[in-house]
Amino acid sequence: MRGKRIKSLSVALAVCMTALTFFSAPADAATPTGKRLKDVQSRVLIGTEFPSGFSTLSDSAQFLSTATPEFNLVTAENCMKWDALEPSQNNFNWNEADKLVNWAKANNYQIHGHTFVWHSQAPGWIQNLSASAMESAMNNHIDKVMGRYKGQILVWDVANEVFEENGSYRNSFWYRTMGKSFIEKAFIRARAADPSAKLIYNDYNLEYTGPKSDAAYNMLKDFKNRGIPVDGIGFQMHLDIQYAIDYDDFARNMQRFADLGLEIYVTEMDVRISSNPSSAELEKQASYYKNIIEKCMAQPAVKAIQVWGFTDKYSWVPQTFPGRDNALIFDRNYNPKPAYYAFQAALATSPTPTVVYGDLDASGSVDALDYSLIKQYLLGNITKFPAENGMIAADLDASGTVDSLDFAIMKQYLLGIISKFPAETK
Ligand code: G3I
């Protein structure tokens, strides 16, 4: 009798343990070896998108503990799109976007805003307005959104996907109603709404030269010539190993945009393979990540490289391309894939940045202006420094963050109490 009770107790316990294992996050996800992606180099920001509701996913703990140390830039997959933020005219829903912004601030992430004028995920109410009403609605949307997050968003995708593959303007409701002027009007409004944000044009299939990339190049060249405020170009980089990519052509293409004085952002990288991939496919995918990122690291105009999600568990790909999947750098169980290590190795090819500690405006000396810049940063008035490697140059004790200790150290330096910064001797 007693033996029977013990046996049923152990069966019940085993059932409970199995249930617990089933419902909790997978405990066996491997932590990647080597440095986290954002720490491999300091020249470009490394980003990912977060889906709406990222903090309430059934596996949020695993999601966040994997992502948080890897990246330093985040984009909203959907919650900063027009239909999410302004579903009916002038009624804004900030809930999800606020959550993302607050999370980013708490975790020292920069934010990439996505997106204003786009033909997709735009609510019905805006699509049938007259040209003047549409322009006012556009101005209002840009003012309200950029106003709410003023100084907190590093870069905004102001216009998204305005060209067809043949290089003609996309026949969107924007274009049909306002002509191509909606694009430059959006940039002008965005600059006025938050002068500290970088403003970029973002599109897919721009990676290689051809009619679409030429159209974007010509538009941006014209904007530059006429003083329309644009700071950069976003290459979305949604790739598939079924299609070959000429990496030298990609490098040449980046160079011509860089020659216009534009910054370059890889905004949504993923590389599709099959739903049930062989190891050869995983290796081929890794080679795409490696080659693209190596070219980016060799191009000084590249400021950020972002993936469109990091785990295959949450990716837009399988819903859109039946039979294609597994496009990201971690698998569904949060294990790093060959693509992760290819990304990591390619980032390491970055030339070592020159850092002049304390010279936050690259003026050639450490002075009162640098002191006031660090103060502005601590007050939250600015989110980075003018010098190319300003964030590292401001971390005077090499603690990994720029904080009040660095401010105190800079004061001691200016008063002549110390003649070297602690970071220089580490
Ligand atoms: O919001 C509705 C929700 O109310 C409804 O219950 C649900 C049912 O399916 O659908 C929800 O809308 C979905 C939306 O994402 C928000 O989750 C749409 O069906 C779905 O099509 C939409 O997909 C997004 C897609 O953009 C739309 O174009 C993907 O998540 C998102 O990853 C993808 O991202 C785009 C970039 O913004 C621009 N570049 C290309 C990239 C990939 O398509």
Q: Which two tokens stand for residue 37?
A: 């992606």
Question: What does 212-249 look like in DSSP terms, one character per residue?
Answer: HHHHHHHHHHHHHHHT----EEEE--EEETTS---HHH
d(CA 211, CA 190): 27
Looking at the domain assignment, is residue 308 inside a domain? Answer: yes
Give the per-residue pLDDT at 26.
Answer: 54
d(CA 8, CA 323): 45
What CATH number should be reported for the domain holding residue 385?
A: 1.10.1330.10
Same domain, 191 and 241: yes
What's this model's pTM, rounded to 2 decimal places?
Answer: 0.82
pLDDT tens digits along 151-169 = 999 999 999 999 999 999 9
Containing structural domain, residue 400:
368-425
Question: What does 373-393 look like in DSSP terms, one character per residue?
Answer: HHHHHHTTS-SS-SSTTHHHH
96 among known catalytic residues: no
H or E segment at 307? strand 302-307
Q: Which two tokens stand for residue 104?
A: 């980013």
Residue partners of 237: CB distance under 8 A and separation at least 6: 204, 207, 266, 267, 268, 269, 270, 292
pLDDT tens digits along 62-114 = 999 999 999 999 999 999 999 999 999 999 999 999 999 999 999 999 999 99
Number of residues that this document lists for the chain:
426
Same domain, 197 and 153: yes
The domain tally of the chain equals 2
Going by alpha carbons, the residue nearest to atom 15 of ligand 1 is 78
Same domain, 181 and 72: yes
Instruction: Give percent of the chain with pLDDT exceeding 90.
Output: 83
Q: Which two tokens stand for residue 138?
A: 């556009």
d(CA 4, CA 318): 49
Asked if the peptide bond before residue 115 counts as cis, ω within 30 degrees of 0, the response is yes
Same domain, 72 and 114: yes
Going by alpha carbons, the residue nearest to atom 30 of ligand 1 is 316
Please identify, by atom number, the ligand 1 atom nearest to the C-alpha of residue 309. 32
Q: Cβ < 6 Å from ligand 1: which residues?
A: 77-78, 120-121, 236, 268, 316
Looking at the domain assignment, is residue 150 inside a domain? Answer: yes
pLDDT band at 387 (very low <50, low <70, confident <90, very high): confident
Give the per-residue pLDDT at 352.
Answer: 62
pLDDT tens digits along 259-316 = 999 999 999 999 999 999 999 999 999 999 999 999 999 999 999 999 999 999 999 9
Q: What angle do CA 42, 356, 426 make, to 5 degrees?
A: 75
- Please say whether the dihedral angle defined by the alpha carbons of residues 274, 278, 280 and 282, taken in this order, is positive or negative: positive
Beta bridge partners of 48: 74, 307
Same domain, 119 and 198: yes
Same domain, 283 and 173: yes
Phi, psi of 159 (to 5 degrees): -125, 140
How many Cβ atoms from other residues are within 10 Å of residue 407's Cβ? 16
Candidates 70, 96, 268, 294; catalytic one? 268
184 among known catalytic residues: no
Same domain, 151 and 242: yes
State which of 314, 347, 380 marks the end of a domain.
347
